[in-house]
Structure 1
Amino acid sequence: MNRKTLVLPAVISLLAPVLAACGGSDSGSGGGGAIVVGTTDEFSTTKDDPAPLDPASAYDVGTWNILRQTVQTLMIQPRGEGEPVPEAAESCSFTDTGNERYACTLREGLSFSNGDAITAADVKFSIDRAMKINAPSGVVGLLSTVDTVEAKGEREVIFHLKTADATFPYKLSTPVAGIVSEDNYDKGELRDGFEVNGSGPYTFSAEEEDGKLVKAVFTKNGNYKGTLKVNNDKVELRSFADASAMNGAIEAGDIDLMTRTMSPDQIQRLSTATDSEVDLVEMSGLEIRYLGFNTDAPAVESKAVRQAMAQVINRGELVSKVYGTQAEPLYSLVPASLTGHSNAFFNKYGEPSVAKAQALLTKANITTPVSMTLHYTTDHYGEATKKEFEILQKQLNASGLFDVKIKGTAWDTFRPAEQKGEYEVYGMGWFPDFPDADNYLAPFLDKGNFLGSPYANSQIRNGLIPESRREADRQAAVDSITEIQDIVAEDVPVLPLWQGRQYVAARDDVTGTAYALNSSSTLQLWELGRGVSG
């Protein structure tokens, strides 16, 4: 029997209204002991990032996998696809016709895990704190349209926005908008270390060694009150050095489920195995990979150089040689399946062509070969990243137009160096904060973008992004979104490469795996339980 299970988004969406449950921490069963989940994500405290789990600073899928279980938000992304729904809130809505005033009413009896009541003042404190701290990660950009937060009585919170923002409900579903207590979080400083306190479905404790978190323990929160049905009493998240070690652990029965990042070879083997006790679950994904540019760096400050790279790189060959059917070429920052996606790069550059690239460089009086270093992280996106960059290097150098070197660096060094502008070209991935085209454009192109990119296009920042956010009907925003993608293809401040699918692998007795990841590639540990798989 083929052990691969394909989860179709349309099916999830149809089932969600039937399967979704309103409840609290007493929902579900917790038999069978802790469910153990493996990951290759590493969590560490460093000089550059001493507070990896503070909601006001955390901004990667690994840390959000912890925060989404523990820190409650007013809104939450639904079980299937669709617009966000209330979570800590009883109700939320725009109260004006211009999408500039957003009001939420908290659930009655809401409390932190220690039993202290949550009021509107706590919500205001949490949002104000994140904006005041303005952490270097750039996560506060999700709150960039917030002007002021008003706490009205014990349960009503009103967000006054600077400009219209139809995507604001999505942003209130992200951890930067998580509700924290003034007793545990300083209003002007980040909270160092691995402690997290909130009102989510789980409480959290960390086991660490030498500044690294080796095991995260999630225990069902008896004071949780929200929409989620919690199907287990305890989950452990364990970090592994690489995909091979993680795979050995699941085959030995030491862990029950493994998630990012499995290697392409592991996924292929699991998808065709006939006698394994481990099932592979495939879901459509919105993960993308791309090259980022420091557009002030001498090697790539000329638009012609970046355009020539876009003209030479063969995405089809790259994907087929590294990821096979697990990914597909991407010709825009906005992935396929999202409203507003266009193949802007293919429309401009067509098939790879050395002759066209040469013409671009000649017209701009660029001397060839152009020398540069492509930087990648060795431990954040999986072991296939090195092979991916070896192929990119080979493609660019084979053109005769470039003299490319590649260099791999661990994430805890790579990310701070990238933010400081130390790399001229670098490889990054993006897991969306929420499934809307805005979240693939503003974080890269708006003021205070998370890349720290010097690229600034006033038409995009001052016109097109605000224009697209005025439209509550996202189909009505397509023209603005398409124009942004066309400008990106012309200027190439970033160069999209591919869009991937997402996978989990679980032992036969683990249930709920079809919903273990949401559309933003974030773990939903409350969905997991024990039983007999089909």
Structure 2
Amino acid sequence: MNRKTMALPAIAALLASALAGCGGSDEPGGDSRAIVVGTTDSFELTGESPAPFDPALAYEAGSWNVLRNTFQTLMALPRSGGEPVPEAAYRCGFSDTQNESYRCKLRSGLKFANGHALTAADVKFSIERTLKIKNPNGPVSLLANIDAVETPGDRDVVFHLKSPDATFPHKLATPAAAIVDSQAYDGGRLRNGYDVDGSGPYILETKAKGGRLVSATFTRNPHYKGELEPKNDKVEMRFFPDADAMEKSLKGGGIDLMTRTMAPDQIARIEREGSEDIELVEMPGQEIRYLAFDTKDGTAGRKAVRQAIAQVVDRQALVRDVYERTAEPLYSIVPTSVGSHLNSFFNKYGEPDAAKARKILDAAGVGTPVPLTLTYTTDHYGSATAKEFAALKKQLNDSGLFRVTVKGEPWKTFRPAQSHQEYPVYGMGWFPDFPDADNFIAPFFGEDNFLGSPYRNSTVAKLIPQTRRQAQRTAAAEGFQRAQDIVAEDVPVLPLWQGKQYVAARDDVTGVEWALNSSSVLQLWELGRAAGS
């Protein structure tokens, strides 16, 4: 078995040649068999999540993977990353020098999968709907800077922003700006169930049992007109209770590809054992994991406690002992692969040191051992999460400064409780909406932050709009780096590690190198079968 480590822009030409050599592998319809993708993601209808695939609610990697394959957005990220390009739009751009007015013209003849015409009125409806619903667990923060949406014609949309924002094209490329059918969605409330009415490359058919999704089939949408070129006619997504069951199905031929979420020891084993039929592909990624704190909690709300935790936690040990080096230590909320990254936490705290942590607590008059409960989700970020929190507990308790207990909760319980700040310390992951430092600062520390965190810093609040004024993103580096230093000082969150991305696939599947982009988007349209397989 070959393991490939891919830097996507660098392999574009090589991959294009390889695919061309596969005969009909790039042509849709050449093989009627569905490509079957395995995942450990799970979806269940609850009071907090009555419609997991409604763009006004969906704001996590698993549901966004469904939305990106079934809805269109005005803009889209190219397969290898970089600046957004028009998708449902024919062209888009700022119409002023201040980055406050953004104008798009739609492609002609757009239709939803149900046959309804897609016009500028649907775009306006979709944006205003998400802003009106303003679900606290949804992606409304990405659109909050929109002041008004105008539709001067059936194909023309103009966005007027409250303040300049050079990152706005990136936000229009996220499912937060997915275009829904105004004839099929209520403008003031969420849908119920798993139904999707979009205009993306695939039509979605789902089956559920007891509110839990049991199957999802993506069939090529004959009405689709956009930037993407699907390499297949059908993809089936199968849901597994854990990574081991998913791997067993891959090796037995039940599925063709698996990705979210593979366990670290599983990745190491697949690479070590090797197989002529299965290929493991490693790709760069920007997923991060971190601890978050309720800064109003009686204990975790004390800055000295948070700083002492930052001084004790050993990231190197975590990625070595828990993640078998499938992740890298992270010393900032902004990952190393994103411009403006600064190792702020290492610069302030250096190597783990219990003696320094004790001095921090003593200076603040905090008695030890400090009692803390760390909460994590048992079924959302992979099986290694429990082991990770056991390791964090041991590190903190071994310092003699803390008395830590850990608690695991299923995602359907964890997410609403977390958003209501019911946990003093909890573990979260972040898959970026777009590859810019703004997306690792604003969603965490802005007024409508997705964590529901009470933490506020007036300097960071001023830096966010200032950095958005910079059309040349390198010019925003100083502001972003200052924000990172403030976060390291205040520790409202504690970054732990940055992940790599892995896909394991049977050797007759093509396009595996493009299955995930740097933002962890599952690009089903890139998958195909080798000719003659």
TM-score normalised by the shorter chain: which range applies?
over 0.9
* TM-score, normalization by structure 2: 0.97
Deviates more, 1:27-36 or 1:49-58: 27-36
Structure 1 residue 15 displacement after superposition: 6.6
Write the letter of the residue equivalent to 1:529: G
- How do 1:51-200 and structure 2 match up within 5 A? 51-200=51-200
Write the letter of the residue equivalent to 2:199: S
Q: Which residue of 1 aligns with 2:399?
A: 399
Structure 1 residue 272 displacement after superposition: 2.6
Structure 1 residue 268 displacement after superposition: 0.8
Q: Which residue of 2 aligns with 1:453?
A: 453
Q: Name the % identity.
A: 59
Contact 2:379 2:410 in 1 (8 A): yes
Write the letter of the residue equivalent to 2:314: N
Write the letter of the residue equivalent to 2:524: L
Q: Using a 3 Å threshold, how does the CA distance of structure 1 residues 412 and 183 change in structure 2: closer, same or farther?
A: same
Write the letter of the residue equivalent to 2:374: L
Output the CA distance in 1 between the equivalents of 2:466 and 2:206: 44
Q: Which residue of 1 aligns with 2:502?
A: 503
Q: Which residue of 2 aligns with 1:471?
A: 470
Structure 1 residue 350 displacement after superposition: 0.5
Contact 1:397 1:404 in 2 (8 A): yes
Write the letter of the residue equivalent to 2:92: C
Q: Which residue of 1 aligns with 2:301?
A: 301
Residues 290-335 of structure 1 show CA distances to partners (whole Å, capped at 9, x for unaligned) of 0000111111111000000000001001110011221110000000
Structure 1 residue 492 corresponds to structure 2 residue 491: yes
Q: Using a 3 Å threshold, how does the CA distance of structure 1 residues 146 and 20 change in structure 2: closer, same or farther?
A: farther
SS at match of 2:260: coil
Structure 1 residue 19 displacement after superposition: 11
Output the CA distance in 2 between the equivalents of 1:418 and 1:30: 47
Structure 1 residue 233 displacement after superposition: 0.7
Output the CA distance in 2 between the equivalents of 1:119 and 1:308: 55
Residues 70-103 of structure 1 show CA distances to partners (whole Å, capped at 9, x for unaligned) of 0100000101021110000000001100000000
Output the CA distance in 2 between the equivalents of 1:236 and 1:284: 25
SS at match of 1:110: coil
* Cα-Cα RMSD: 1.8
Deviates more, 1:29-38 or 1:319-328: 29-38
Output the CA distance in 1 between the equivalents of 2:531 and 2:275: 17
Q: Which residue of 2 aligns with 1:9?
A: 8
Q: Using a 3 Å threshold, how does the CA distance of structure 1 residues 532 and 270 change in structure 2: closer, same or farther?
A: farther
SS at match of 2:55: coil
Residues 171-224 of structure 1 show CA distances to partners (whole Å, capped at 9, x for unaligned) of 001111011111111000001110011000000010111111111110000000
Q: Using a 3 Å threshold, how does the CA distance of structure 1 residues 321 and 400 change in structure 2: closer, same or farther?
A: same
Output the CA distance in 1 between the equivalents of 2:131 and 2:240: 34
Give the total of aligned pairs.
528
Q: Which residue of 2 aligns with 1:336?
A: 336
Deviates more, 1:37-46 or 1:10-19: 10-19
Q: Which residue of 1 aligns with 2:289?
A: 289
Q: Which residue of 1 aligns with 2:213?
A: 213
Output the CA distance in 2 between the equivalents of 1:413 and 1:485: 31
Contact 2:56 2:138 in 1 (8 A): no
Residues 393-451 of structure 1 show CA distances to partners (whole Å, capped at 9, x for unaligned) of 00000111100000111111111110111100000000001111111111110011000
Output the CA distance in 2 between the equivalents of 1:358 and 1:348: 16
Q: Using a 3 Å threshold, how does the CA distance of structure 1 residues 94 and 15 change in structure 2: closer, same or farther?
A: farther
Output the CA distance in 2 between the equivalents of 1:249 and 1:16: 27
Structure 1 residue 109 displacement after superposition: 0.8
Q: Using a 3 Å threshold, how does the CA distance of structure 1 residues 138 and 54 change in structure 2: closer, same or farther?
A: closer
Structure 1 residue 533 displacement after superposition: 11
Q: Which residue of 2 aligns with 1:321?
A: 321
Structure 1 residue 153 displacement after superposition: 0.7
Q: Using a 3 Å threshold, how does the CA distance of structure 1 residues 45 and 114 change in structure 2: closer, same or farther?
A: same
Output the CA distance in 1 between the equivalents of 2:477 and 2:17: 31
Contact 2:291 2:496 in 1 (8 A): yes
Contact 2:194 2:206 in 1 (8 A): yes
Contact 2:201 2:224 in 1 (8 A): yes
Q: Using a 3 Å threshold, how does the CA distance of structure 1 residues 307 and 459 change in structure 2: closer, same or farther?
A: same
Q: Using a 3 Å threshold, how does the CA distance of structure 1 residues 387 and 113 change in structure 2: closer, same or farther?
A: same
SS at match of 1:285: coil
Output the CA distance in 2 between the equivalents of 1:496 and 1:70: 33
Q: Using a 3 Å threshold, how does the CA distance of structure 1 residues 32 and 273 change in structure 2: closer, same or farther?
A: farther
Write the letter of the residue equivalent to 1:414: F
SS at match of 1:237: strand
Q: Which residue of 1 aligns with 2:23?
A: none
Write the letter of the residue equivalent to 2:438: D
Segments of structure 1 that go 5 or more residues without pairing to the other structure are none
Output the CA distance in 1 between the equivalents of 2:43 and 2:351: 40
Q: Which residue of 2 aligns with 1:257?
A: 257
Segments of structure 2 that go 5 or more residues without pairing to the other structure are 21-25
Write the letter of the residue equivalent to 1:209: K
Structure 1 runs of 4+ with >4 Å offset? 12-21
Structure 1 residue 532 displacement after superposition: 5.7
Q: Which residue of 2 aligns with 1:377?
A: 377
Residues 127-181 of structure 1 show CA distances to partners (whole Å, capped at 9, x for unaligned) of 0000000012141000011100011111110000000000000000111101111
SS at match of 1:226: coil
